[in-house]
Structure 1
Amino acid sequence: MAHPTEVAIVGGGPGGLTLARLLTMRGDRVTVYERDAGRAARTQGGTLDLHADTGQRALRAAGLTEAFRRHARPEGEDMLLLDHTGTVLHRDDTPDDSPALRPEIDRADLRDLLLDALPPGTVAWGRALRTAAPAPDGGWELEFADGDRARHRVLIGADGAHSRLRPLLTPAVPHHLGVNTVEGAVPDIDRTHPGLAATVGRGSYWVVGDGRSLAAQRCSDGSVRVGLSFHGPAHRAADWLTTCGIPFARPDEARAALLPLFDGWTPACRALISACTGPLTPRALTALPVGLRWAHRPGLTLLGDAAHLMPPVSHGANAAMRDALELATALDAAPGDPDAALRAYEEEMFARTAGVAAESARILEMITSPAGGRRIAAFFRGEGG
């Protein structure tokens, strides 16, 4: 059995790593168990816009504001919203003196700056959790896929949508949202496709049509992430990605099969799909029930998507990092009684994230409605959508 530390965090995403940083700053011994074999084991996806009162607030408490500013891109807030014919519905151009209330940062850059801020050995890589059970003398005993075991007094589940720890607290499982997505990437777009690079601009190019949408977002490595979203009657079933006949394992054939689904759309959309190289990642969108709560169990809690998975409309990672800040604050306020701290954190988190999840659901409903593009444009103008 591994030598125990006070706190175990299962999951090395933004929420789990932020919590680890905040706790190690105050001298706690923390172990983060991450199933990835190492920090470069897989790509981390596109970019995040970190909000001033959530993600940025947590990084400020973690002493990482300067590191964040080195990677953040205020110009990434630029956004062009169109309908499928190319009619511009809304445009945001970030001024040079922007207060950077929601600047973009690549997920990989955020993960790296958090990892670099942790004491060596904090993250145990390649540790996929198999089971967790209460230890006879208190705390929690963990067993991993490789057969190793560890024991900790406090256990935090930051292990995302498919959390292995959530069933210990609630039977709730994520439900399908009637939206299916496919993600690809155009690498080195300024060199390989300068015309498309100009179309996307410095931030996001978003086209919303009937039953589907396309979003292209610039990343700091020179690539553009392209996301296709399907929510029309013929494409909203939970199993559509596996029954549609598109061979996602063979990207060239999959791209050719996707193009007819965008017949009649602005040429830039079809060109962006064609320009994607490498793998295509299909993903069904799911969420936990809005306002999910559970009865407290000693020494155990959840944060981020494990606790309140919500539609991906820019709030998820921010909510997770705010969770980390509130949990670290609660533990700091009750150094001799971690269980009281977990209870206090849960009550605050339940109340705070219920509203965020409801807002995220409302935004997704706008996007997927018949007049989605115009409703989202009105929302950006402050007209409520």
Structure 2
Amino acid sequence: MSTPRIAIVGGGPAGLMCARMLQGHGIEPVVYDADLTVDSRDPGGTLDLHADAGQIALEDAGLMDAFRALARVDGQAKSRRDQNGTVLAEFIPAEGDEAAPEIDRGQLRAMLYEHLRPGTVRWDHKLIHITPRGGGVHRLEFANGAGADVDLVIGADGAWSRVRPLLTDATPQYLGVCFLDARFDDMDTRHPEIAAIVGDGHMFSVDGDGRAVIVQRNSNGVVRGYVAFRAALDWPVTAGVDLTDREAVRAYLLREFSEWSALMRPLITDNDSDYIPRSFWALPAPLTWDHIPGVTLIGDAAHLMAPFGGHGTNLAMLDGAELAHALEHENTLDDAVARYEAAMFPRSGELAVGANTALARFFAPTSPDAPHLPPDHAQEHKNYQARATEYRRRRTEDAQ
């Protein structure tokens, strides 16, 4: 095909991976992002990149060495405790197990950005209008007054995508669980008791009433904590809690988590940052749409799901890589998008249904005699590796 004008809306892992792959195929896209710079906002905590998805994309992009320089293999460790601190289950990765190493979200985004040609990403470009012009061409207009006509617009703009309405009326639905995101600094020096509970990776704890604490070790001595509970979106208003008043939030949480042991309560109250309110949302799953020339979606814009299983960023990066492969190998933009979507719909749909179901089960009330237990992580890692091998085998056959 002749060189198309391709715009990627969104400079997260999905959009940056897609741009990196396209440049490797000799296609020069433009990435538009609303942020002022790559690190102008808190990117969130850590994530694991699976051998059968995120790592495949990194291999395709020639970035595995860059990833390994930042990744934490020991961060794959996980434990599950009850509200009294009793260990219910524990997973320590075997030597040589690199099925799902951890990396900070900010580090991943910066790494991908640094491996693009200068000028690829146009920061401070918030999309406000997108208008079909016919023949698959779309006009993009940005809040800063800039505009562009493109042959293909790739929506990589996340949960509240402005590109998605061109393809579907589906919108994210609240899953009934809110959480407060907090941070612990200089963990091993300032919070050794919490460091011992967290270990090298993640610690999950949930009580019988659907209240949970999830803490994750990040790089540079930081731990991110998530205090989660079932609630309406307006819970701070109905509870009379000022979220900007750290002590008021702590007092509320101590009342809500009053039955948690003295060992576990510091995970809820001893944070060094303010509490940042967040909530879980998901698109209807499985989600598909009819093809429209000149537009498609990748990442959360296409299949926002609950974070259980850690599939979101992994799928986002694989989406970006597969769409770039399709654009390289197919004769037309329409054929490339159709090829990409045909593979993406069933893969993301199955995982989204499973993730959303897992979240509902995790936060459902349960008997103390039947606590929520985690999946078999050792088998999970073997499954990642097996699916990665199968994925590569199918790709080799398709190329022949």
Would you call these one fold, judging by a TM-score over 0.5? yes
Q: What amino acid does structure 1 have at the position aligned with 2:164? A: R
Structure 2 residue corresponding to 1:98, chosen from 90, 96, 99: 96
Whole-angstrom CA distance in 1 between matches of 2:75 and 2:302? 29
2:325 corresponds to 1:329: yes
**Counterpart of 1:357?**
352
Give yes or no for the alignment of 1:125 onto 2:123: yes
Secondary structure of 1:277's aligned partner: coil
- Give me the whole-angstrom Cα distance separating, in 2, the residues matched to 1:23 and 1:378: 37
Q: Give, in whole Å, the separation in 1 of the partners of 2:378 and 2:23.
A: 42
How far residue 213 of structure 1 moved from its aligned partner, in angstroms, is: 0.2
Q: Name the CA distance, whole Å, in 2 between partners of 1:356 and 1:192.
A: 39
Unaligned runs of 5+ in 2: 381-400
The alignment-based identity, stated in percent, is 43
- C-alpha separation between the residues in 1 aligned to 2:85 and 2:97? 30
Deviates more, 1:178-187 or 1:5-14: 5-14
Partner of 2:39: 40
Task: State the match for 1:201 in structure 2.
Answer: 199
Shift of 1:347: 1.6
Cα distance, 1:69 vs structure 2: 0.4
Between the aligned partners of 1:106 and 1:379, the Cα distance in structure 2 is 24
Q: Distance in 2 between matches of 1:49 and 1:280?
A: 24
Alignment-mate amino acid for residue 144 of structure 2: D
Maintained 8 Å contact 1:185/1:223: yes
Report the Cα distance in structure 2 between the residues aligned to 1:5 and 1:155, rounded to whole angstroms.
11
Q: Please say if residues 140 and 149 of structure 2, whose CA atoms lie closer than 8 Å, have aligned partners that are also in contact.
A: yes
The answer (yes or no) to whether the contact 2:213–2:267 under 8 Å persists in 1 is no
Distance 1:267 1:304 in 2: 40
Q: 1:262 to 1:352 in 2, by over 3 A?
A: same
Structure 2 counterparts to residues 1-385 of structure 1, below 5 A: 6-95=5-94, 97-136=95-134, 138-209=136-207, 210-231=209-230, 235=231, 237-313=232-308, 314-334=310-330, 336-371=331-366, 374-377=371-374, 380=377
Name which structure has the greater RCO, CA cutoff 8 Å, separation 6+: 2
Offset of 1:281 from its aligned partner?
A: 1.3
Residues 243-294 of structure 1: per-residue CA shift (max 9 Å, x gap): 3322112233322322221112132331122221223211121101111111
Contact 1:6 1:28 (C-alpha < 8 Å) held by counterparts? no
1: CA distance between counterparts of 2:242 and 2:290?
43
Displacement after TM superposition at 1:89 (Å):
1.2
Cα deviation per residue 1:134-184 (whole Å; 9 max; x = unaligned)?
125651110011122112111000000011111111111111111111101
- Distance change in 2, residues 1:229/1:26 (3 Å): same
| C-alpha contact (below 8 Å) 2:9/2:33 kept by paired residues | yes
- Given the superposition, is the C-alpha separation of residues 138 and 358 from structure 1 closer, same or farther in structure 2, using an over 3 Å criterion? closer
The 8 Å contact of residues 80 and 90 in structure 1, kept in 2 or not, is answered as yes
Q: Give the conservation status (yes or no) of the 8 Å contact 2:236–2:242.
A: no
Cα contact 1:366–1:376 (8 A) shared by 2:
no
Q: Distance in 2 between matches of 1:378 and 1:55?
A: 20
User: Which amino acid counterpart does residue 206 of structure 2 have in structure 1?
Assistant: V
Q: 2:79 is paired with a residue of what secondary structure?
A: strand
Structure 1: how far apart are the matches of 2:115 and 2:199? 32
Name the stretch that deviates more: 214-223 or 354-363. 354-363
TM-score normalised by length of structure 1: 0.93
Give distance in 1, aligned partners of 2:115 and 2:378. Answer: 38
Summarize the Cα distance change of 1:113–1:321 in structure 2 as closer, same or farther, 3 Å threshold: same
- 2:316 partner letter: A
Residue 365 of structure 1, CA deviation: 2.5
Residue 62 of structure 1 aligns with an amino acid whose one-letter code is: A
Contact 1:246–1:257 (CA under 8 A) maintained in structure 2? yes
2:305–2:356: 8 Å Cα contact kept in structure 1?
yes
Deviates more, 1:238-247 or 1:123-132: 238-247
The residue type paired with residue 215 of structure 1 is I
Q: Which 4+ stretches in 1 moved above 6 angstroms?
A: none
CA deviation after TM superposition for structure 1 residue 118, in Å = 0.2
Figure out how many residues of one structure are paired with residues of the other and give that number.
Answer: 374
Q: TM-score when scaled to structure 2?
A: 0.89
- Give the letter for the 1:352 counterpart: R
**Shift in Å, 1:58:** 0.3
Distance in 2 (CA, whole Å) between partners of 1:208 and 1:194 is: 22
Q: Which runs of 5+ in 1 are unaligned?
A: none
| Structure 2 CA distance for partners of 1:247 and 1:155, relative to 1, 3 Å | same
Letter in 2 for 1:350: F
Distance 1:382 1:121, change over 3 A: closer
> How far apart are 1:376 and its partner, in Å?
3.0
2:292 match: secondary structure:
coil
> Contact (CA 8 Å) 2:7, 2:30: kept in 1 or not?
yes
Q: Secondary structure at the residue paired with 1:89?
A: strand
- The farther-off stretch of 261-270 and 6-15 is 261-270
Q: Secondary structure at the match of 1:22?
A: helix
| Kept after mapping to 1: 8 A contact 2:85/2:264 | no
CA contact (8 A) 1:246 1:258 kept: no
